[in-house]
Chain A
Amino acid sequence: MKRFLAALVLLLPAIARAEITIEGRVALPKTHTAPVVNKRYEVVTKGGVVAISPPLAVVYLEGNFPRPATPPTAQLPQKDLAFVPSLLPIQVGTRVEFPNRDDVYHNIFSYSAPKRFDLGRYRADERPVPSEVFDVPGLVTLRCDIHEHMRGIILVLETPYFVVTDPDGNFRLSGLPAGRYRLKAWLSSKTTLDQPVELKADSALHVDFP
């Protein structure tokens, strides 16, 4: 009965928000890097500010949303000695798996305050796939103890409504709940833009960050 109720609670907003979307564009910082095919996104830290290069933004709806009853899972594989993707937004409480898709050992660890962990050395055939649950919101920098250049970012958010922009800064959020919220665009560990939004049923909102 309880499970049913829970399912209902989950389903109800889904039905209600099916029609609510936000589209828009985040003005990403200009970069001088020449466009390259098969771009790799890297985590860069400059003056203690962590961002992605070439720039990407995470757009999310901030609000007081309940935590999911069953922790969602996400995957952040290491492929070709890099985290793919290098920027992973998750909801608080998500279990992230770190599968090794290289032929060499990796040793993923983080010294970031929201989540300190060390997965130790493991190979591709490691089972179960090493994973961690991120239950404190914030920015987690991922490193590999073996490959010093490897960096990844996990952005732990207190919302299930988030999306990563495309390289041009375009985004689309759908299935949003109605109500008054703040729409935020994370650009770097230092810069997060936000705008108030009022979501109404069956509405498609267009929001641009400056």
Chain B
Amino acid sequence: MIAVPESKKSGVSRFRTKLLVAMMLVVSAITALALYLADHYLAAAAEQDLRREFQGEITALQNVQDLRHAALVELCRALVRRPRIHAALEDDALDLLYPSAKDELRDIMANDAEPGPAAYALHAEFYRFLDRAGAVIVGPNVNDVGRLRPEEESQLALAALPERQQLGYLVRHADGGGERLSEFIAMPIVSSETGEVIAAIVVGFKSAIFGDARGGAGIKRGLLLDGRLHLDAFAEAERAALAAEVMRAVAAAQGAPSSFGREIAGAPRLLFYKRLNPGSRFPPAFEVCVYPLAELRERQWHVRWQVLSAGGLLLLGGLAASNYLSTRLSRPVEKLAVDSAENLAQRVRAEAALELTSEELQRAARFSADASHQLKTPVTVLRAGLEELLAEQNLTAEEGNAISALIHQTYRLSGVIEDLLLLSRMDAGRLEIEFGAVNLTHLIEAAIDDLGAQPDAIELAVETDFPADLHVAGEKRYISLILQNLLENARKYNRPDGRVRIAAREAGGEILLTIGNTGRPIPPAAQARVFERFHRGEIGENVPGYGLGLNLARELARLHRGDLRLVRSADDWTEFEVRFRVAQPAVADLGSLS
């Protein structure tokens, strides 16, 4: 276990705090959203409920009204079928029209003797006949037909007789001031013989809409006629505003019934209007229902508070939960932090070791190069001195031999130094092969020539087996070096009257060069180590060399993307094999030309 540094610990706690804050933010945002949506939804639902309630009440009222209208219309329809009325109109007895009607309407006309709402339920207040032109036929006795002011009576007239019943509304001004509303039905009188409309009867009834206390639940009902709203519950200014509002809505909706919320005279109201006499030839009359929304607002506030407190609780719970969660979630992160600290430490150590190795390697290589370089000059100087000494005339043969041996040693030294230099360059990765096509045949021939030119030449039989013009990919000097080293070994470790065999052939994109020699084989135990640097075989005690040749040759072969291996070493025969890559033909041609 590696101790987590202090900075890591603070980092982990910072992470925990950040996580907590983020979670709280998310929880708060979600709560706020939920609150908003809930509030919105509940408010909408409450309004929807109220609207539905309102519509329900209105529908109920409308149904009552529709029933009443249907009853009134039926009453009128029965009336216009009465034979006496027909007789008066068709048999040219207009003088009998109103008297006949009086008889027929006796049960319908309101009886002043029995006042009260019941008297108005289906009782007529007035009636008039319209002639063929739609004008009012004046009755003989005003008291029988219901008293109307002249301007009121004129509103009953029509431009032409209607084909079917028409519903109209009339605001009547009582003598003592105040208004009351009448609704009247103009029912055409159709000749039973010809089917043509010959007259009409207008029967007026007290309207149930106006000033009726039945509109429960705070609903105020009134009538909008000729742009004026008749609704006692409101002051004049309010009524005017309401009327303007409804007229605007009527114009916008083209008279279709509708309900909408409006701020009227500082108070929110739900408004409903509906034309009472759609399609009528009488002026359009609208029923207007007003519902105060104060109660709804109150209800909405109540709900909103409930929602808010619920939201607060939710938020608290959410924050607690996020605290708990962030602690739990940051635990594995803490562990991860510890683990990563360990990993990091290990990696740092490994990197440091690697760097050290690399540096050491570099230094060694550099040292090797430097050393070789530094050594080359004195050796050259030494050789030059010795050669000068050898050139002296007065040397004895003994002295001459000794000096020659020394000079020979300087050559060996130079060779070692050269090899070391090359190896160190290779070790440092600074040796790059300039690939070209190299005529291996020529090189082998040259190497064989060199072999024969060695001063301590042993009598060796050289066997060759290679085709002419074998081209390998590589750099001439290094390939030559490989050949020299191998042939050198073949010569050095040979026995007297031994032989050397050099063979080369192309196989599968490679050129295999084998160099074999007679002589004591390399002991099996040492075979694995022949390519190690400064390794010398047991037999090599008396053989000149410094244990770099095979190593160098193998390194060079590998740089040429080939290899060098020991094929066999037993029974007086040791054979090495070098693999080269075949040079590309084009390049080969160039190489052969050069």
Contacts and interface: CB of A to CB of B under 8 A. Distances in A.
Interface of A: 43-48, 109-113, 116, 141, 143-151
Contact of A144 (B83, B88, B192): B83
Given A141-B91, A143-B86, A151-B193, 9 more contacts: A45-B193, A45-B194, A46-B194, A48-B90, A109-B83, A111-B87, A145-B84, A146-B83, A148-B192
Nearest to A149: B192
A55 to B, nearest CB: 15
A148 B83 CA distance: 5
A148 B91 contact: no
Given A116-B93, A141-B91, A109 B84 contact: yes
Q: Which applies to chain A's interface (DSSP): helix, strand, loop or mixed?
A: loop
A98 to B, nearest CB: 15
A185 to B, nearest CB: 23
Contacts of A143: 83-84, 86-87, 91
Contacts of A116: 93, 96
B449 interface: no
A156 to B, nearest CB: 15
Task: Classify chain B's interface size.
Answer: 10 to 19
A40 to B, nearest CB: 14
Contact of A45 (B84, B88, B90, B93): B90
Contacts of A146: 83
A45 B92 CA distance: 12
A141 B192 CA distance: 14
B530 to A, nearest CB: 141
10 contacts: A47-B194, A111-B92, A112-B92, A141-B87, A143-B83, A143-B84, A143-B86, A143-B91, A147-B83, A151-B193
B297 interface: no
B90 A109 contact: no
Contacts of B96: 111, 116
A1 to B, nearest CB: 46
B192 A110 contact: no
A148 B193 contact: no
Contacts, number: 53
Nearest to A146: B83
Contacts of B558: none
A189 to B, nearest CB: 10
B91 A110 contact: yes
Q: Which applies to chain B's interface (DSSP): helix, strand, loop or mixed?
A: loop
Given A45-B90, A116-B93, A111 B193 contact: no
A148 B194 contact: no
A145 B92 contact: no
A16 B82 CA distance: 51
A41 to B, nearest CB: 13
B88 A111 contact: yes
Contacts of B194: 44-47
Nearest to A47: B194
Contacts of B193: 43-46, 151
A45 B84 CA distance: 16
Nearest to B100: A111
Contacts of B87: 109-111, 141, 143
B192 A111 contact: no
Interface string B303-315: 0000000000000
B189 to A, nearest CB: 12
A44 B90 CA distance: 11
B441 interface: no
Interface in B176-225: 191-194
B157 to A, nearest CB: 23
B248 interface: no
Given A116-B93, A141-B91, A111 B191 contact: no
Contacts of B328: none
B86 to A, nearest CB: 7
A7 to B, nearest CB: 39
B81 interface: yes
Q: Which 5 A-B pairs have the closest CB atoms?
A: A111-B93, A111-B87, A111-B91, A148-B83, A45-B193
B191 A45 contact: yes
A22 to B, nearest CB: 32
Contacts of A48: 90, 92
A51 to B, nearest CB: 10
A46 B191 CA distance: 9
Nearest to B86: A148
Contacts of A110: 87, 91
A112 B86 CA distance: 12
Contacts of B82: 145, 148
Kindly name the residue among A45, A46, A48 whose own CB sees the greatest number of chain B CB atoms within 10 A: A45
B104 to A, nearest CB: 10
A148 B81 contact: yes
A113 B83 contact: no
Nearest to B93: A111
B93 A145 contact: no
A46 B81 CA distance: 18
Nearest to B91: A111
B95 to A, nearest CB: 9
A128 B283 CA distance: 55
Nearest to A45: B193
Nearest to A112: B91
B69 to A, nearest CB: 24
Kindly name the residue among B84, B91, B191, B192 whose own CB sees the greatest number of chain A CB atoms within 10 A: B91
Contacts of A145: 82-84
A107 to B, nearest CB: 8
A143 B83 CA distance: 7
A111 to B, nearest CB: 4
Kindly name the residue among B83, B96, B192 whose own CB sees the greatest number of chain A CB atoms within 10 A: B83
A110 B90 CA distance: 11
Contacts of A109: 83-84, 87
Interface in B82-128: 82-84, 86-88, 90-93, 96
B123 to A, nearest CB: 23
A111 B193 CA distance: 17
A133 B90 CA distance: 23
Kindly name the residue among B86, B96, B191, B193 whose own CB sees the greatest number of chain A CB atoms within 10 A: B193
Contacts of A147: 83
B357 to A, nearest CB: 130
A13 to B, nearest CB: 36
